[in-house]
Amino acid sequence: MPELPDIVLYLEHLTPRVVNQTLQRVIVRSPFLVRTFEPPISEAAGKRVLALRRMGKRIVFQLEGGLFLVIHLMIAGRFRWKPPGTKPPGKVGLAAFEFPSGVLILTEAGTKRRASIYLVRGEESLRQFDRGGLEVLEADSASFAARLRSESHTLKRALTDPRLFSGIGNAYSDEILHRARLSPLARTGKLADEEVDRLYHATRATLEHWISKLRDEEGEKFPEKVTAFREGMAVHGRYKLPCPVCGTPVQRIRYADNETNYCARCQTGGRLLADRAMSRLLKEDWPKSIDEVE
């Protein structure tokens, strides 16, 4: 799923291409994509784009007439910028937004249709999409600490909860916790002040690093290789590969469609965290420390 650094990059590349441009036509290929019916999506056509903004992991197009086009890419949704006249491709092309300067195409890989488009009227209607998460890059350490400790969760859950923190998902939370040298299963209410402060600075540093890195990688090109598995990540998507800090094989916890990656030496004092599937299968044979598997 595109997270804060990816959404920031999308906005930086879309702004010079579409702001002050007229959205000439909206082509929708999937009946599951548009989640609102009033106002109809056709009403967006002919409206000028006044501004773009980010709400968590959502991209918002502010249009003339008090309209807001809200797009949530979810896990597999992506944007492509193509020359004028380009049509949405095959099965993955869900929608196209035609501008004088080009066509913004929304694609979604796979068979699960999770990406969504909403068209709403007025700022009050737009507020329903604001989950209330703290913008860490705009917050001080005290605000971060208060938000982190406002509910009792594991650190992994807290960082990825959009009601607590804005724009952070599965991938960058792994990277943040590795940089902070904290276990993904540590409880928010049990952290020392020094650990909370370390997490605050690690969160900011990780997000700033990846925004800068993605800017450098893409240059002037529209970002079309948005992925949760980036070359240069420390632990996310690197199961069994060496940790770049200590060389220990990266471990994982699998649950549902997601997994958490971590370094046992850097983050958990050598302790292996229980993987729900494998630890239940192996029971007493499940290794308790990284020394038992190296």
Please write the tens of the pLDDT for every residue from 234-252: 999 999 999 999 999 999 9
Measured CA angle at 243 (ends 239, 247), to 5 deg: 120
Separation of alpha carbons 156 and 276, rounded Å? 16
Give the tokens for residue 218.
């893409």
User: Is residue 108 scored above 90 in pLDDT?
Assistant: yes
Statement to judge: residues 244 and 190 lie in one domain: yes
The residue from 113, 129, 145 where one domain ends is: 129
For 177, the 3-state DSSP assignment is: helix
Structure confidence at residue 91 (pLDDT): 85
DSSP secondary structure of 149-176: TTS--BHHHHHH-TTTBSS--HHHHHHH
| Short-list 246, 283, 282, 244, CA closest to 265 | 246
The residue from 80, 108, 129 where one domain ends is: 129
**What crossing angle do the helices spanning 170-180 and 193-218 adopt, rounded to 10°?**
130
Statement to judge: residues 106 and 175 lie in one domain: no
Q: Which of 112-121, 170-179, 248-257 has the lowest mean pLDDT?
A: 248-257
Statement to judge: residues 211 and 119 lie in one domain: no
Structure confidence at residue 276 (pLDDT): 55
Statement to judge: residues 143 and 115 lie in one domain: no
User: Is residue 289 scored above 60 in pLDDT?
Assistant: no
User: Is residue 275 scored above 90 in pLDDT?
Assistant: no
Give the tokens for residue 191.
């952290």
Statement to judge: residues 100 and 188 lie in one domain: no
User: Is residue 141 scored above 90 in pLDDT?
Assistant: yes
Statement to judge: residues 142 and 279 lie in one domain: yes
Statement to judge: residues 198 and 257 lie in one domain: yes
Statement to judge: residues 178 and 84 lie in one domain: no
User: Is residue 82 scored above 70 in pLDDT?
Assistant: yes
Contacts of 150 by beta carbon, 8 Å cutoff, 6+ apart: 164
H or E stretch covering 14: helix 4-18
Q: What is the CATH number of the domain that holds 80?
A: 3.20.190.10
Q: Are 99 and 23 in contact (CB under 8 A)?
A: yes
Statement to judge: residues 160 and 281 lie in one domain: yes
Statement to judge: residues 118 and 195 lie in one domain: no
- Domain count within the chain: 2
Identify the bridge partners of residue 96 per DSSP, sorted by sequence position.
Answer: 27, 105
Question: What is the chain's mean pLDDT, rounded?
Answer: 91
Give the mean pLDDT of 117-132. 97
| Short-list 24, 166, 14, CA closest to 78 | 14
Separation of alpha carbons 66 and 57, rounded Å? 22
Give the mean pLDDT of 145-154. 96
84 φψ region: left (φ > 0), alpha (ψ -120 to 50), beta (else): beta
H or E stretch covering 27: strand 25-28
Separation of alpha carbons 124 and 122, rounded Å? 5
Structure confidence at residue 285 (pLDDT): 37
For residue 181, the enclosing domain spans: 136-292
Q: What are phi and psi of 49, to 5 degrees?
A: -80, 120
Statement to judge: residues 95 and 234 lie in one domain: no
Statement to judge: residues 67 and 148 lie in one domain: no
Separation of alpha carbons 105 and 87, rounded Å? 8
Give the tokens for residue 130.
């604001």
Q: What is the CATH number of the domain that holds 153?
A: 1.10.8.50
User: Is residue 281 scored above 50 in pLDDT?
Assistant: no
The residue from 87, 107, 129 where one domain ends is: 129
Reported pTM = 0.92
